[in-house]
A and B are shown apart, each in its own frame.
Chain A
């Protein structure tokens, strides 16, 4: 078996430790810029989150997250297979496998860090977008409140006009000088079609579900979504902490491996003490030979 070069192992150990000491290597790989119009606020509250998630799934960020998930899954199975093989070898081969396990864990920690950063990016973008929607919904609500009196007047006018429509039609028929106007013909036909469609909408089972679930206002639902996104961000922070502990454990494992390598190469005494030639007595041997 080839002799293990301790310099390489020390370098590897230092590399692993330096990687572990960094919070994450993830950089801003990709972005998600929600590309949804303000009309999203017109959707029933339940469909709002679905529309946002659909938009996210089309982004590069979602693609990167999916790629990292796949890589993480491969990395975990690689580490597991190495860990199973570790007990079957001893000596230098065992050290080699431990080294590979450390390398695998290092990659796992890096990938996990990147994944957490991407998840944080997604949630922060979602949160900012939801807050923007919330402001818009509040402004819209305020505008509606301002014009509520006028809307009531308009609804009342429409109801009164609808109630008088038959009488008016009879009056016009009695005093008819010519044919009914084109608009009038289309109006009555379209009015009937609209009434039929409206009644179909009202009796539609899905509409009743939406209206019962839609008791919460859009603002209320947005508020729930914002709370949920903030909770998810808090979970991400906790996961980062777990990853930090994993990295610290990995650093300790790397240090233990470095020690084992030193013992393997130089015996139980480990690395020889370096001689300090700055004192004259230490260089005496040079003159005595």
Chain B
């Protein structure tokens, strides 16, 4: 019984340690995923969405700055780092949308091919 308890405690400590060690890029990816979920959440009212996305943009901007000044990522040739920096438009949503002078939502939608023109040109079919 004591052994089991010791094992569970050790495993918990190990896992909690792992969570603390998440890198800056992983944190940004998590926040970005939450922001995208808020963008496409059909249950949110327009006002709520605007408020949530404004707060998300502030958080994303900070996280993007952290990633861009993270020395540990310099020259780190992992798949995640490479993919993230190859697609600046989608990884650094706050900065890229400001660069294009668009809202973060319309910027993301345009980048994933959900622009108004593209939606209008779609055909309804069974």
Enumerate chain A interface residues (CB-CB to B < 8 A).
Answer: 143-144, 146-147, 150-151, 153-154, 156-158, 160-161, 163-165, 167-168, 171-172, 175-177, 181, 183-184, 187
Contact = CB atoms under 8 A, between A and B. Distances in A.
A230 B48 CA distance: 75
B81 to A, nearest CB: 7
A151 B75 CA distance: 6
A164 B96 contact: yes
Contact of B65 (A154, A171, A187): A187
A250 to B, nearest CB: 62
B9 interface: no
Contact of A160 (B66, B75, B82, B99): B99
Main SS class of interface, A = helix
B73 interface: yes
Contacts of B55: 177
Given A160-B99, A164-B99, A168-B94, A154 B85 contact: yes
B86 A144 contact: no
**For the side of the interface on B, what is the size category?**
20 to 34
Contacts of A175: 54, 57
Contact of B81 (A146, A150, A176): A150
Contacts of A147: 75-77
A150 B85 contact: yes
Given A150-B82, A160-B88, A177-B54, A168 B95 contact: yes
B51 interface: yes
B61 interface: yes
Contact of B99 (A154, A158, A163, A187): A163
Contacts of B94: 168
From A153, A157, A172, A181, name the one whose CB has the most chain B CB atoms within 10 angstroms. Answer: A157
A187 B64 CA distance: 12
Contact of B62 (A151, A171, A184): A184
